[in-house]
């Protein structure tokens, strides 16, 4: 079965300071998403679709997309404020993107196969990407209840030493079926342990969290369409409201519209939330190359 990799690369890293999706962190100037596409290719994906913005399209095509055109099908879609369901328009003063759920929805006309949706600025590891690929290759698209999945990372393996992070903490049942994803917005390591500074929630560290590594089938687009309409009706006039994947998936589960399996993964995850995270990521990639997990340069 053909599978597609959907890379959400339209966002600017405001805390990091610039287009971190294009920042060379590998020893030969590889970006984090170069490694994700490399892992997708060796996991059997046959196509990658990048969700980007039109204002950096030319640079992105040259610096990123062109690297893969000889090895995998490459396409682009654009996340635009004006891309909305029929009957909706951009509210006055709105400049902020509509969120990750909207970014996935933006690819509705470009994808007709099972697909893995990931962030451009997170390193997920071969283990996670291949695990989702295996799930997608066995899921039944023509069942009445769509079956999706997410790669669940340990919370304590996804924190930054340089500030708070936002994480979607998963609640699953005994069979690893997702019940809900709760967005915790200011998680940090403290002398008292791991906690969320916004609401005081305390964590052990072994909790599984979503890092936006989702396995979907095309049925998700119809579900997102109706949920996006509801979001816009309730929050569309707010200047900073966003339509996030975890909230949308939780709503699908609550309504009985989909089932989602949490796939526990132990792969290395790291990202560049803050500029101070950059040398840590550079060192981590160098270690993976020395251990033989990746060639240098990527081929």
Question: How many residues belong to the chain?
Answer: 299
Mean pLDDT of 35-58: 93
According to the model, what pLDDT value does residue 161 have? 81
Torsion sign, CA atoms 70, 41, 214, 226: positive
According to the model, what pLDDT value does residue 131 have? 96
According to the model, what pLDDT value does residue 125 have? 95
Higher pLDDT, 139 or 81: 81
Mean pLDDT of 190-200: 88
- Contact by Cβ (8 Å): 182, 168: yes
The rounded percent of the chain whose pLDDT value lies above 90 is 64
For residue 13, give its domain range.
4-290
Higher pLDDT, 6 or 1: 6
The number of distinct structural domains making up the chain is 1
For residue 272, tell me if it sits in a domain: yes
Q: How confident is the model at residue 271 (pLDDT cuts 50, 70, 90)?
A: confident
Lowest mean pLDDT, pick from 54-63, 83-92, 119-128: 54-63
Q: Is the pLDDT of residue 1 over 70?
A: no
According to the model, what pLDDT value does residue 102 have? 97
Return all residues near 132 (Cβ < 8 A) that are at least 6 apart. Answer: 116, 149, 151, 213, 214, 215, 263
pLDDT tens across 142-178, in order?
A: 566 789 999 999 999 998 888 888 899 999 999 999 9
CATH number at residue 234: 3.90.550.10
From residue 276, alpha-carbon distances to 33, 161, 271, 272 in Å are 19, 9, 11, 8
For residue 116, tell me if it sits in a domain: yes
According to the model, what pLDDT value does residue 17 have? 45
List the alpha helices (DSSP H) in 170-239. Answer: 219-235
Token pair listed for 57: 């399209």
Higher pLDDT, 58 or 69: 69
Mean pLDDT of 37-65: 91
Helix (H) or strand (E) holding 6: strand 4-8
Token pair listed for 224: 């997102």
pLDDT tens across 28-43, in order?
A: 888 888 999 999 999 9
> What is the pTM for the complete model shown?
0.91
Lowest mean pLDDT, pick from 43-47, 236-240, 249-253: 236-240
Give the residue among 20, 26, 77 at the shortest CA–CA distance from 47.
77
Token pair listed for 241: 């409201």
**Which residues are bridge partners to 107 per DSSP?**
none
pLDDT tens across 89-146, in order?
A: 999 888 889 999 999 999 999 999 999 999 988 999 999 999 999 999 987 665 667 8
Q: Is the pLDDT of residue 13 over 50?
A: no
According to the model, what pLDDT value does residue 143 have? 62
For residue 191, tell me if it sits in a domain: yes
For residue 126, tell me if it sits in a domain: yes
List the alpha helices (DSSP H) in the chain. Answer: 32-42, 57-63, 100-105, 126-138, 219-235, 245-254, 278-290
For residue 299, tell me if it sits in a domain: no
Taking all residues of the chain, what is their mean pLDDT, rounded to a whole number?
A: 90
For residue 297, tell me if it sits in a domain: no
According to the model, what pLDDT value does residue 144 have? 66
pLDDT tens across 200-234, in order?
A: 899 999 999 999 999 999 999 999 999 999 999 99
Task: Output 179-188 pairs: Cβ under 8 A, ≥24 positions apart.
Answer: 179/253, 180/250, 180/253, 180/254, 181/210, 181/246, 181/247, 181/249, 181/250, 183/244, 183/246, 183/247, 187/155, 187/159, 188/159, 188/163, 188/164
For residue 298, tell me if it sits in a domain: no
Distance CA 98, CA 2 (A): 29
Distance CA 280, CA 153 (A): 19
């Amino acid at each position: 079965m053909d599978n597609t990799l959907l890379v959400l690369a339209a966002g600017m890293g405001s805390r990091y300071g610039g287009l971190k999706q294009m920042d060379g962190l590998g020893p030969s100037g590889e970006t984090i998403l170069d490694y994700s596409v490399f892992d997708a290719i060796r996991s059997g994906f046959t196509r990658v679709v990048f969700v980007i913005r039109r204002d950096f399209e030319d640079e992105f095509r040259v610096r990123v997309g062109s690297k893969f055109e000889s090895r995998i099908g490459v396409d682009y879609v654009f996340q635009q404020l004006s891309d909305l369901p029929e009957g909706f328009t951009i509210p006055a003063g709105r400049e902020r993107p509509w969120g990750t759920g909207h970014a996935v929805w933006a690819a509705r006309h470009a994808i007709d196969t099972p697909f893995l949706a990931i962030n451009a600025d997170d390193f997920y590891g071969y283990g996670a990407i291949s695990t989702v690929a295996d799930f997608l290759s066995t899921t039944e698209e023509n069942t009445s209840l769509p079956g999706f999945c997410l790669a669940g990372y340990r919370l304590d393996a996804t924190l930054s030493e340089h500030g708070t992070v936002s994480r979607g903490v998963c609640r699953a049942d005994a069979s690893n079926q997702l019940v809900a994803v709760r967005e915790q917005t200011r998680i940090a390591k403290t002398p008292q342990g791991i906690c969320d500074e916004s609401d005081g929630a305390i964590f052990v560290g072994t909790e599984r969290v979503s890092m936006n590594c989702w396995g979907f089938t095309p049925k998700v687009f119809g579900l997102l369409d109706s949920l996006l309409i509801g979001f816009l009706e309730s929050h569309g006039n707010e200047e900073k409201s966003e339509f996030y994947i975890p909230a949308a998936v939780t709503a699908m589960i609550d309504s009985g519209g989909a089932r989602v399996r949490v796939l526990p993964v132990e792969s290395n995850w790291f990202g560049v939330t803050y500029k101070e995270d950059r040398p840590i990521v550079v060192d981590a990639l160098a270690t993976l190359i020395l251990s033989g997990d990746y060639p240098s340069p990527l081929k």
